[in-house]
Amino acid sequence: MTVPQHSATAPIQFIKHAAFDTKRLVEERKAILDIHVTKRGRDPKKVGTQAVAAIAEGFTGAELEQAVMDGLYRAFAAKRELTGEDLISVVRATNPLSKMMSEEIKALRAWAASRARLASAPETAKAGAIRRPTVVG
């Protein structure tokens, strides 16, 4: 598989979608953080993943997983357990793909508006759900 140099030429299934930041999405980010903190043998309640999820606007699941791993490296280097402050520092130092490529994502959405159809009903899309276009033809 080859990867195009520019996101506009990438197949739509390879583009990560930015999300609208709502309370539901904060809870989704918290759930993802909880999974990755637990997967690495730590207690999410002791770490305080809610505060991290609240500031991680626009982060993908993969970026949140990487934040947990980077936070663990910080804690290990300091010879202590992982804390929410470790994760907050990592998140603040990270520029998520949804922000770094916001212009490309906006252009892709504009392109898809006339060349694709929504995978969900328009009512769901109006309610703030993530719009994931289905390529037509």
Q: If DSSP codes are grouped into helix, strand and coil, which group holds residue 30?
A: helix
Q: How many other C-beta atoms are found inside a 10 Å radius of the C-beta of residue 57?
A: 17
User: Residue 23 corresponds to which tokens in the numbers above?
Assistant: 């309370």
Q: What is the mean pLDDT of residues 108-115?
A: 86
Residues 6 or more apart whose CB falls under 8 angstroms from that of 112 comprise 12, 133, 135
Among residues 124, 125, 134, 131, the alpha carbon closest in space to that of 105 is found at: 131
C-alpha–C-alpha distance, residues 125 and 115, integer Å: 17
pTM for this structure?
0.66
pLDDT at 9 over 60: no
CATH architecture classification, 19-97: Orthogonal Bundle (1.10)
- The gap from C-alpha 129 to its chain's centroid, in whole angstroms, comes to 15
The H or E element spanning position 38 is: helix 23-39
Amino acid in position 61: G
C-alpha–C-alpha distance, residues 84 and 137, integer Å: 47
Quick check: 87 and 71 in contact, CB under 8 A? yes
pLDDT at 103 over 80: yes
Q: What is the mean pLDDT of residues 54-79?
A: 95
pLDDT at 128 over 70: no
- Of the pLDDT bands very low, low, confident and very high (cuts 50, 70, 90), residue 50 is very high
pLDDT digits (tens, 9 = 90+) for 21-34: 467 889 999 999 99
Residue spans of the domains in the chain: they are 19-97, 101-137
